[in-house]
Amino acid sequence: MSARLPVDVITGFLGAGKTTLLRRLLARPELAGAAVLVNEFGEIGLDHLLLERIDGDVVLLKSGCVCCTVRGDLKAALEALLGRRARGEIAFDRVAIETTGLADPTPVFATIAADAALKHRLRMGAVVCVVDALNGAATLDAHDVSLRQAAAADRIVVSKTDLAPPEACSALAARLRALNPVAELLLLDAETPPPALWLTGAGEGPPSRWRADTPAAEPGHDARAFLLEAEAPLDWARFGLWLSMLLNAHGDDILRLKGVVAIEGVAGPVAIQGVQRVVHAPEHLEAWPDGDARTRLVVIARTIDPERVRRSFRAFVGRAGTNAAAASA
Ligand SMILES: Nc1nc2c(ncn2[C@@H]2O[C@H](COP(=O)(O)OP(=O)(O)OP(=O)(O)O)[C@@H](O)[C@H]2O)c(=O)[nH]1
């Protein structure tokens, strides 16, 4: 029997910086040869669109790793990847699973532990939890699942320390240490390279904290994802105003906002990333994901009626909008 491949799990609340950390880790030559499974929340994730598509749901990362978006069954996705590997269609020697920000990571272990065929070919590696230095404390207060994510981790990364005051970073680190004293803790900013060993090394066994009998739990979240679309390029100032008014009115309930936007007078797409009330610096992309040059924004929100947000977006940003439309969003 060939050696079982290690599976590392990257968890952390919506927008904490999971994809950013994974991309930075996978850029390291020691970690090339990974298959990455991105478990998007809802049916309309965009992470995989920002990558180069090679075949159906499988895309190729710049590092040479293969990446696949899981929309349903993790077991089926793992089996499909392993099948393709066995047929020589794709090559990888490790698996990294990025969970959705709203997921408790424990069902991932349970999926592998409970399945004889998967257990035969895969072994659990480390659970790495990313906690955002800006939003982490409030997220831990408000979302039980983020406590469960940090509690399940073998390694915790506090991300975005370049954006938060040092005392807030230290307080968050102390809280996380108290919550999960056995996890290794790393404070990371946008510049410092993360240590490659944060994913499981070739000969390394499973971290001692992992229990094969961890019960599978339902995520039990009450958020939903919906899509905002626009055919024509947007007026940047009008869009910015609409966004800030929306976040002002509903920032606590908008957990995540991300996507690509077409702006009047700007060649190529602009990527927008919002995490609760924080909107990150927009990023100019070279090409449209999927060749589709339309504005597409995914919003993950609690309690808000998606239709109301769509109406205000169309009215305010679309064409002849009014401030009143955004104010009523
Ligand atoms: N300044 C700064 N920005 C960061 C850092 N880590 C992540 N970001 C930004 O935070 C935003 C969200 O990061 P992602 O990596 O997409 O977060 P995620 O957890 O994968 O998000 P979801 O998959 O939607 O849950 C992006 O705009 C990143 O560029 C960091 O250490 N410093």
81 with 140, same domain: the answer is yes
37 with 125, same domain: the answer is yes
Residue 198 lies in a domain: no
174 with 315, same domain: the answer is no
Residue 200 lies in a domain: no
Going from the Cα of 130 to the center of ligand 1, the distance in angstroms, rounded, reads: 10
- Looking at residue 129, which CATH number applies to its domain? 3.40.50.300
Q: How many angstroms separate the CA atoms of 136 and 116, rounded?
A: 37
173 with 243, same domain: the answer is no
Task: Report yes or no on whether pTM surpasses 0.90.
Answer: no
- Read off the tokens for 230: 């626009």
Which residue out of 20, 39, 129, 188 has the highest number of ligand 1 atoms within 8 Å of its CB and is therefore the one to mutate? Answer: 20
169 with 217, same domain: the answer is no
List ligand 1's pocket residues with C-beta within 6 A: 12, 14-20, 47, 101, 159-160, 162-163, 188-190, 256, 258, 273, 275, 280
Most confident of 9-13, 35-39, 183-187: 9-13
Q: Which of 153, 187, 221 is the last residue of a domain?
A: 187
The whole-number average pLDDT for the span 198-211 is 46
More confident residue, 227 or 327: 227
Residue 175 lies in a domain: yes
Going from the Cα of 3 to the center of ligand 1, the distance in angstroms, rounded, reads: 34
Lowest-pLDDT choice from 47-56, 74-83, 104-113, 232-241: 47-56
Going from the Cα of 186 to the center of ligand 1, the distance in angstroms, rounded, reads: 16
Q: How confident is the model at residue 257 (pLDDT cuts 50, 70, 90)?
A: confident
Q: Whose CA is nearest to atom 5 of ligand 1?
A: 160
The whole-number average pLDDT for the span 19-31 is 81
Tell me: pLDDT of 202 over 50. Answer: no
More confident residue, 154 or 320: 154
Instruction: Report the pLDDT value the prediction gives residue 125, as an integer from 0 to 100.
Output: 81
Give me the phi and psi of 300, to 5 degrees please. -110, 115
Q: How many angstroms separate the CA atoms of 59 and 269, rounded?
A: 20
Q: Can you count the helices (H) and strands (E) in the chain?
A: 10, 15
**184-187 vs 223-230, strand pairing mode:** unpaired
Residue 197 lies in a domain: no
The whole-number average pLDDT for the span 186-204 is 69
Buried (b) or exposed (e) across 129-160, using 16+ Cβ within 10 A?
bbbbbbbbbebbeebebbbbbbbbbbbbbbbb
Condensed to tens digits (0 to 9), the pLDDT of residues 260-303 reads 899 999 988 998 877 667 777 788 888 887 678 889 888 877 78
- Of 313, 307, 305, the closest CA to residue 230 belongs to 313
Tell me: pLDDT of 52 over 50. Answer: no
36 with 146, same domain: the answer is yes
Domain count, the chain: 2
92 with 231, same domain: the answer is no
Going from the Cα of 170 to the center of ligand 1, the distance in angstroms, rounded, reads: 20
